[in-house]
Structure 1
């Protein structure tokens, strides 16, 4: 009889312990869902100065500033952000796998990509352009690139697009990195570097290249940068609201000036949410 009483008491204690543990789990879940106790993981580029760059001092660039602002509006402080490198070829997979909550990484909105992910924005309208030496007066239009040495990174379609559609006699030069192209541009081994003007402005804004290069202003394509989220995610609407606030309170223009200003980047006005320029 005494043994049975002890067993019954133990059962009560065990039941209480299980209940307490369950309540504790619910409390943690509630805390996480509010943004107050968990982290948010954001995909960015790590190797694009002015856009998204990992440095010994931390992370910098226009996309980093935009993502930090958006995260703040979602309820996350800067120290609750986990930055994850998302290379161009892996962006859709990173979202579908759940590796990141959203991606801000010079991510152009295209019909093909919209089949796989949802986009908030756009938050920047960029254009394919060329970067040339600051004393260059010969390149004023895409056709002026004919017979010029045109550089882009290995595997990029930017230089090929110019060659195929606008300057068929351009001499394509493929270098492993944009930095290598810049070195070639500085030494006159190449005449122009081509990719998105925002990326070019970011590189030209580096202290080592200040005053040495300028954008051609050719505006050869339209690149609508959006923030990628997993297909069907309710984050899209929340991020759009945050982007609208960033523009209205002046934070968007400040981020543009800070990251691209040294290259005298003539940015387009902040695009309206959902307005994709073809």
Structure 2
């Protein structure tokens, strides 16, 4: 796991997180990084402790390791979903869950998402990317209009799968949309080609980052055509999406 930069706190999203991880070193690192990023953090090392802490603090999101010494993460989420099932159709009873695990089997991912997980991050992971994905889940599940992603006059609706620039709809392919969403979720932060490949293509191209350059080119033709340039190349590293500098 790579560390969090000093700018993480400046972009703090806030919120009350429950971190469930049985490995003390990893748990302490996660808690320190998330607190530095502006979150309030409660920690638990077992499944039962996670259920107890969740009842005490009513977290806004649970970062949940699958492999725990007593109840596994899947059983924890079953019990959380049962305990917090809303009495009405209101979304208020839903606690977002991001699974954290060393297991990357497709069946595990499917089981976790079917049970109500909102995202799935495989170890080893990049702390900055993990924080960005936590923020994205919290925006997506908040039901707040601020869930829209914005950079200058570029706007993206993750739920509606729509994007506009200066109010003009952009015609994006599904891959272009995923790429733009990832860049906007991490707006102002440089992301490497390898990170983009993992997030957008899930290594479907066997580590060949050339596909990233190709789709960045496609996206630029649609995003940066006729307006200030928003997608920038950071030579030797990757790309960053940011608004025009004053």
Tell me if TM exceeds 0.5: no
Given the two structures, how large is their TM-score scaled by the length of structure 2?
A: 0.28
Given the two structures, how large is their TM-score scaled by the length of structure 1?
A: 0.26
Which of 1 and 2 has higher RCO (CA within 8 Å, sep 6+)?
1
* Greater Cα radius of gyration, structure 1 or 2: 1
